Amino acid sequence: MAGAKNDSRSPWLWIPTVYFMEGMPNALIATVSVLFFYDLGVSNTATAFYTSLLYLPWVIKPLWSPAVDILKTRRQWIWAMQLFLGIMLGGVALMVPAPHFVEWTVIFFGLLAFGSATHDIAADGFYMLANTEYQQSFFVGWRSVCFNGGGIAARGGMVYLAGWLIAKSANPALGWSIVFLLGATVFVCLSIYHYFILPRPAMDVPKPVSAPGHFLDDFLNTFAAFFRKPKIILPLLFILSYRLGEAQMLKIVPIFLRAPVHAGGLALNDQTVSEVYGTAGVIAFMCGALLGGYLVARHGLKSWLWPMLLAIHLPDAVFIWLAHTQPQHLSAIGAGVAVEQFGYGFGFTAFMIYLLYVARGEHATAHYAICTGFMAAGLMIPGLWSGWLQGILGYKNFFLWTLLATIPSFLIAIKLPLDAEFGKRNRAN
């Protein structure tokens, strides 16, 4: 069911900041935590395992997604969860200098992930309720840009600042603690902003329970409705396999960039890593994401699914080249990352629009959460073994393996059900 605008406030006032707030915690868990644990001396295997396990809340969020549909409005959930995220990140900051910091920071990162997953349920549901189908397709590129903008603020700004503070103080724990406190401040400020600025679409109301005492029945019926969708098995397999190669690279690439040359890495420091992803990487990603959103809105998703599938996977070969040549010139590394990020931005657009396609219907908020839960499982499970596998294969063979791991998504895409008109601008909305 397409959303409808019932508020005069422009989507430009809230889509960028809401999706910035989706991307920033996600990047903190997926990438920044990897560099944080690396700087504090945690092993590659333990780092990859813990930071992949932290994706569990995104995997199981469908279990409580109907509650977001039924209890309160999506608008209320959005700003409340952003406030919770700020508090949890503050907890991470306080635990960094503490004894047993690994266990405590993993706990607070886990609570942060739980809050972020709940925020994602509400924000994605709100996006569908507050925008027409065409607006959903048009803004998906900008949505991806802003999501990645939050990631760049974390992977770029926060990592750069941490590297600078560590260089000045020679105290990694102090540097990262300050950075996490600043991040917590950003979360709280954006929560206050969204409390006042988010529109109030007429459709954003708690879904009524059919009768007193029937909450559990309605809760379970929401799940059942999803799995009764026609030909649902192929879409679920596609969602699980789409990022199989990337899921394994995600945990290893930051370590590869930081690892010394004699260990097969590129020996960059935190500041240089942030510069690579915060300049060439972010520009390339934005160009790819915006181009993808424009082309889907113009021609429909089906016309561009295969080019986008190729675009997100084939540039992964850049890391095979980087691992074999180990270039020392930052321009060469930056160019390689830019190619990979452009393909990622362009190809990820198709993935996000396809999730909207699968989630359409009466329970769009909860069903979109189920889709993203499967997407998170496709990231978490391969990530759990990535550190162990890299230790066996080495960086060169590991990156070759991740490219081969993209093959299942191509095979599934051949039979993937998809409406040829979905997402076109000239479609009735």
HEC letters along the chain = CCCCCCCCCCHHHCHHHHHHHHHHHHHHHHHHHHHHHHHCCCCHHHHHHHHHHCCHHHHHHHHCHHHHHHCCCHHHHHHHHHHHHHHHHHHHHHHCCCCCHHHHHHHHHHHHHHHHHHHHHHHHHHHHHHCCHHHHHHHHHHHHHHHHHHHHHHHHHHHHHHHHHHHHHCCHHHHHHHHHHHHHHHHHHHHHHHHHHCCCCCCCCCCCCCCCCCHHHHHHHHHHHHHCCCCCHHHHHHHHHCCHHHHHHHHHHHHHHHCCHHHCCCCCCHHHHHHHHHHHHHHHHHHHHHHHHHHHHHHCHHHHHHHHHHHHHHHHHHHHHHHHHCCCCHHHHHHHHHHHHHHHHHHHHHHHHHHHHHHCCCCHHHHHHHHHHHHHHHHHHHHHHHHHHHHHHHHHHHHHHHHHCCHHHHHHHCCCCCCCCCCCCCCCC
Query: Over 60: is that where the pLDDT of 414 sits?
Result: yes
Residue 427's pLDDT is 47
For 216-234, what is the mean pLDDT? Answer: 85
Residue 61's pLDDT is 83
Residue 202's pLDDT is 81
Query: Over 50: is that where the pLDDT of 346 sits?
Result: yes
Residue 88's pLDDT is 97
Query: Over 90: is that where the pLDDT of 233 sits?
Result: yes
Cβ-Cβ contacts under 8 Å for 220 (sequence gap 6 or more) = none
Residue 1's pLDDT is 45
Query: Over 70: is that where the pLDDT of 305 sits?
Result: yes
Residue 212's pLDDT is 54
Chain mean pLDDT for the chain: 87
| 7 — pLDDT class (breaks 50, 70, 90) | low
For 129-156, what is the mean pLDDT? Answer: 79
Query: Over 50: is that where the pLDDT of 428 sits?
Result: no
Q: How many CA atoms lie within 13 A of 55 on its CB side?
A: 27
Residue 102's pLDDT is 94
User: Is the sign of the CA dihedral 16, 149, 186, 69 positive or negative?
Assistant: positive
Query: Over 70: is that where the pLDDT of 265 sits?
Result: yes
**What proportion of the chain, given as a percentage, has pLDDT over 90?**
48
Q: How far apart are CA 170 and CA 164, in angstroms?
A: 10
Q: How far apart are CA 362 and CA 349, in angstroms?
A: 24
Query: Over 70: is that where the pLDDT of 295 sits?
Result: yes
Query: Over 90: is that where the pLDDT of 420 sits?
Result: no
Q: Which residues of 370-399 are buried (b: 16+ CB within 10 A; e: fewer)?
A: bbbbbbbbbbbbbbbbbbebbeeeebeebb
Query: Over 60: is that where the pLDDT of 240 sits?
Result: yes
Residue 215's pLDDT is 65
Query: Over 70: is that where the pLDDT of 340 sits?
Result: yes
Q: Give the pLDDT confidence of 67-95 residue by residue, as tens digits.
A: 887 788 999 999 999 999 999 999 999 99
Query: For the chain, what's the residue count?
Result: 429
Query: Over 80: is that where the pLDDT of 421 sits?
Result: no
Residue 395's pLDDT is 95
Q: Bigger pLDDT: 278 or 93?
A: 93
- The number of beta carbons lying within 10 Å of the beta carbon of residue 92 is 27
Q: Give the pLDDT confidence of 82-134 residue by residue, as tens digits.
A: 999 999 999 999 999 988 999 999 999 999 999 999 999 899 889 888 777 67
